[in-house]
Structure 1
């Protein structure tokens, strides 16, 4: 390996990530409130998601019959119907819940929640109460799940005001009283024939950082992701105004793209704070579906007023996947150029320094769509986006190994398409336009080959990042799906952990490669024919895929290597030529017993980097384990 005649800079923005309210990426994940449906609303889930929830938890069917909104339950269902949803009289959103105690008895509602007792035993609860009759005593407690008599922590408030009033309490568990992954019940209760309306309930760990989970913040900070994209399908129906202002007044609605709740408690200010906490820059996708250029420009002005030096110049994406009829209010190919131009002009008027990413087509179908976008004048946008969220469906009925090798070949096959996108832009007069890979992800439909949750997904991620670095001349931005869930950080049953691909992105980004070096390799290759439907023909894919680079201070040689071979370790002699290597080589390897190995809440570190070191020299013998990703740091003497 050797320096290039024409140095190629690797932008740090190739190691970006992506956040969208989907699954439990924000609510139930990054956002630390453990309560679902805190505002006790109806209509926050699609029919399909409700059906799935009832299959998993059939006890919620009876709770719903008693008038309780999902996923709340009665403290004691044997007491019958002591609950009434009240629409039009709420502290938050549209609905509250009237709870009616029995004479001499306690009546309440509960919700199964997962805490993080391995980290925190103290929790801050809040609720809004409107007193109706009887004594004003309200009990807030944590109890053993499905054991209402086993109270773990409790606090009382006197809520006797006839107008909506907020009350706050602190609940402290005894050490080791709740086991890791053990559910508990959050209970709100009245007694002795009292009646009150409840609304807007929350339960945060005492160590939450501005409402966010500290474990997820730390893992996101460790990722060293320089940009975080806030966008996705939800973008096309998202009104940013709903997510600003006092959190108690933000309205809960359905996220129509995914059929899940959008509580709006994680909005623009919270996203910007998240970016600050993890030392990343925001990259926001604007609403070109139901939004307007004026509203988008207003959002730009709001963010600039609340971010950094207030001078603007941030990345803004002009919509998301607008070519798809699944996208809410998609403009269609006939209108996309005009919609892009109108939004671009409005954003440029609000911030002349803004850098704009127009919606481009995917690599296998970009030409006609991008041609429409490129009818706009040069300077309308700085980048064309492309996405590669792909399943492992193949043209042939190959076995699992064939699907795996075809999936791992995809990044190699993508490289020519990146150049074709840029060449089309240049030919249309947009010579400065570069490609922005704002989503990428590998999905296994049968979970029997590389998937974003398993070690195979980590191999795909390593190959993808290597492809990005090699093609940094046309690629400037990339966002792995996602920083939360998918290939990133997960939280299940109160336990935070990283997918194997998280560690690949972390190792690459932390290494901070800056200048590409030339590499010549004589390892074996393979060819895929009738492979993954999106890119079925890929030739000469190297089993051992290595990229060499230097950090900006040229203090070391960085080798990022992926061994795609599923069963064979690859022995290699690494010849650094005239590069003056001296000292200790530090090596980090991500490897598992199978490409199907996953991390989960029960075993969060099943796949994690393993450190090694050895004397560095200009010729270094190393064996790369089968199906592994390796990052080598070889110090240089300058």
Structure 2
């Protein structure tokens, strides 16, 4: 190993960049021309299972509501106590008028159409069309009186919106006017009328069409409900959906999720420990809105079990559900398993079920002590097995950097209690042992993490194999993984650096699939996946890296050796700070089932150097041209967002095959999938 140190004024071309030299040890410099040798005749004794390309959905942020779920309105049931104080502070900072609206008795984030009228609103409790609270609006003769909410409409895709509301007439006129207005303006862009004359709670429907060109993409508007003259009316359970919504879901999200080719979709996370599945079934209008105590945001329960299963069907994924081992009971869990098995396509069971989520964390409601853990796991396992003996059970394991004691407790259970032990690695990469690390050092240390994780996963499997009841019968399920940072110039799940990290992680999973046959990236919505802001759907660079890997037809790993240089990290990311022998060119090669297609998954982790490479093919006679898909950008910190939704996307190209070799330059900080087809 050559240890390189940077002194004042020194220049060190052999390492990643000058800024990183002080902390990076170059174990093998990058040669003038790197070589990749693929031996297609040397097939591994395991397959790459599709299930390592699972993804993850949890009600957090705007992943479901105002994300996947197409409903445009926030707090449509006009409830109180749906946000914690941190979120309320943020909402009021963003929209200062909400403070005065709240003083008038309006629920967040609703405001009066005419704030100058003062108090014309009375909340009612205990007599509501939905949940607990409704809102009476008291009109002013000759003035416009009503409630409004700032909204963003997907006008780039659709101009017609369908909605409904519940009303109970109190006195006076009976007309209600529903409008789309320009934000903070009296200008009306679309209008509809209903005659809400019923004295009992009644549902009324309407349709609003915005003229083309009247509202720009990403421009806010106001949704308003206005009473007629001195009318008094009680309102509840409002709704506004794009007319092209698919079973209540955003069609752009469905399309992009389907293009990920994910075979498993995990429904779980911290909310699991306080989630009761029966709250999310039955008629949508009757489901109760409540606080999601894990994340301090609303849980409307309109996206429940049936909707989740339908989403899985629409994108071609199989459900993987985490059961409530916090405030739940074994009986409740068994009933959920029975319900899902009866409503899933094959009605045969055998789905993946997680016995809790991060039970070792005090942020989870009702977390067990280490002494309670085995018994609780066993009780839920037995309840589920009684309903579905074929269920694939994932017991809660600990993270790869501190799993030994927790997993040992789980392994005291009888044989058959579980099929997998879960592990998570949601890591903050700009927390390093190196004080004041340079951005380049943080990037190099981040890109090294999958190498050490692979070693940790093998050690986790070795611990499992030491217990005869589980040896070679139970494996690891990596049910959450994500790269997080707090600085703008560090790899993050939102930027190109996060895509490099994700691709390296997927390569690691393909190498270790015999011990980790199940994995779920965080997440299909938000984090490393699809986002929706201001009704614009877009995806992170990591989404595209995931799509490139998961969409490839590659099932049988084959031998590959790489001479492309390597480095080691010292005092790196705190949770895995010492990592040796990290290849600059990270390569996995695999055949499809027919043996007629060979795919190379290549991650160039070098921060500055395009690596000229000769790829030598053994045991595979390729056609004249290889297909190449590359994800790269001008900076590791480039992102996609609502304003530029396709700033970082893959490009397609080709490479010439000459005899049994291919020459190709892999761009620095890039992800490449190269596909060769047999002659």
1:225 pairs with one of 262, 275, 296:
262
Aligned-pair distance for 1:636?
1.4
Aligned-pair distance for 1:203?
0.4
Residue 630 of structure 2 corresponds to 589
Aligned-pair distance for 1:190?
0.3
**Contact in 2 for aligned 1:105/1:191 (Cα 8 Å):** no
Residue 412 of structure 1 corresponds to 451
Residue 233 of structure 2 corresponds to 196
Indicate the larger mover: 6-15 or 610-619: 610-619
What pairs up with 1:80-479 in 2 under 5 angstroms? Answer: 80-147=118-185, 149-392=186-429, 393-397=431-435, 398-429=437-468, 430-431=470-471, 432-479=473-520
Provide the secondary structure at the position in 1 that maps to 2:187. strand
Deviation per CA, 1:281-340, whole angstroms, max 9, x where unpaired?
000000000000000000000000100121100000000000111111101211110000
Supply the distance in 2 between the matched residues of 1:314 and 1:342 (Cα, whole angstroms): 19
Deviation per CA, 1:128-160, whole angstroms, max 9, x where unpaired?
00111101100111010110x211111100001
Residue 62 of structure 1 corresponds to 100
Aligned-pair distance for 1:564?
0.7
Supply the distance in 1 between the matched residues of 2:245 and 2:475 (Cα, whole angstroms): 39
Provide the secondary structure at the position in 2 that maps to 1:96. strand
Q: Gaps (5+ residues) in structure 1?
A: none
Supply the distance in 2 between the matched residues of 1:342 and 1:94 (Cα, whole angstroms): 35
Indicate the larger mover: 274-283 or 63-72: 63-72
Deviation per CA, 1:164-190, whole angstroms, max 9, x where unpaired?
000000111111221110111000010
Aligned-pair distance for 1:428?
1.0
Residue 89 of structure 2 corresponds to 51
Supply the distance in 2 between the matched residues of 1:263 and 1:512 (Cα, whole angstroms): 39
Q: How many residues align?
A: 636
Residue 607 of structure 2 corresponds to 566
Supply the distance in 2 between the matched residues of 1:628 and 1:10 (Cα, whole angstroms): 23
- Confirm whether residue 630 of structure 1 aligns to residue 669 of structure 2: no
Residue 29 of structure 1 corresponds to 67
Supply the distance in 1 between the matched residues of 2:548 and 2:441 (Cα, whole angstroms): 28
Supply the distance in 1 between the matched residues of 2:44 and 2:202 (Cα, whole angstroms): 67
- Specify which structure has the bigger relative contact order, considering alpha-carbon pairs within 8 angstroms and separated by 6 or more residues: 2
Supply the distance in 2 between the matched residues of 1:235 and 1:6 (Cα, whole angstroms): 38
Instruction: Give the superposed CA RMSD.
Output: 0.9
Runs of at least 4 residues off by over 4 Å: none
TM-score, length of structure 1 as denominator length: 0.99
**Contact in 1 for aligned 2:265/2:320 (Cα 8 Å):** yes
Indicate the larger mover: 240-249 or 83-92: 83-92
Supply the distance in 1 between the matched residues of 2:329 and 2:514 (Cα, whole angstroms): 34
Aligned-pair distance for 1:8?
2.2
Supply the distance in 2 between the matched residues of 1:381 and 1:50 (Cα, whole angstroms): 41
Provide the secondary structure at the position in 2 that maps to 1:511. coil
Supply the distance in 2 between the matched residues of 1:94 and 1:410 (Cα, whole angstroms): 49
Indicate the larger mover: 3-12 or 30-39: 3-12
Supply the distance in 2 between the matched residues of 1:636 and 1:369 (Cα, whole angstroms): 48
Supply the distance in 1 between the matched residues of 2:255 and 2:402 (Cα, whole angstroms): 39
**Contact in 2 for aligned 1:12/1:512 (Cα 8 Å):** no
**Contact in 1 for aligned 2:655/2:663 (Cα 8 Å):** no
Q: Gaps (5+ residues) in structure 2?
A: 1-37
Supply the distance in 2 between the matched residues of 1:80 and 1:4 (Cα, whole angstroms): 78
Aligned-pair distance for 1:360?
0.3
Residue 596 of structure 2 corresponds to 555
Aligned-pair distance for 1:6?
4.4
Supply the distance in 2 between the matched residues of 1:310 and 1:206 (Cα, whole angstroms): 32
Aligned-pair distance for 1:444?
1.1
**Contact in 1 for aligned 2:48/2:556 (Cα 8 Å):** yes
Aligned-pair distance for 1:400?
1.1
Residue 539 of structure 2 corresponds to 498
Supply the distance in 2 between the matched residues of 1:467 and 1:437 (Cα, whole angstroms): 12
Supply the distance in 2 between the matched residues of 1:366 and 1:425 (Cα, whole angstroms): 11
Provide the secondary structure at the position in 1 that maps to 2:452. helix
Supply the distance in 2 between the matched residues of 1:176 and 1:611 (Cα, whole angstroms): 34
Supply the distance in 1 between the matched residues of 2:44 and 2:264 (Cα, whole angstroms): 27
**Contact in 2 for aligned 1:286/1:318 (Cα 8 Å):** yes
**Contact in 1 for aligned 2:656/2:663 (Cα 8 Å):** no
Aligned-pair distance for 1:85?
1.1
Deviation per CA, 1:432-490, whole angstroms, max 9, x where unpaired?
11110000000012132110000000000000000000111111001000000000000
**Contact in 1 for aligned 2:43/2:556 (Cα 8 Å):** no
**Contact in 1 for aligned 2:464/2:474 (Cα 8 Å):** yes
Supply the distance in 2 between the matched residues of 1:239 and 1:443 (Cα, whole angstroms): 29
TM-score, length of structure 2 as denominator length: 0.93
Deviation per CA, 1:87-144, whole angstroms, max 9, x where unpaired?
1111000000110001222200000011101110000011000111101100111010
Indicate the larger mover: 3-12 or 150-159: 3-12
Supply the distance in 2 between the matched residues of 1:177 and 1:277 (Cα, whole angstroms): 33
**Contact in 2 for aligned 1:436/1:476 (Cα 8 Å):** yes
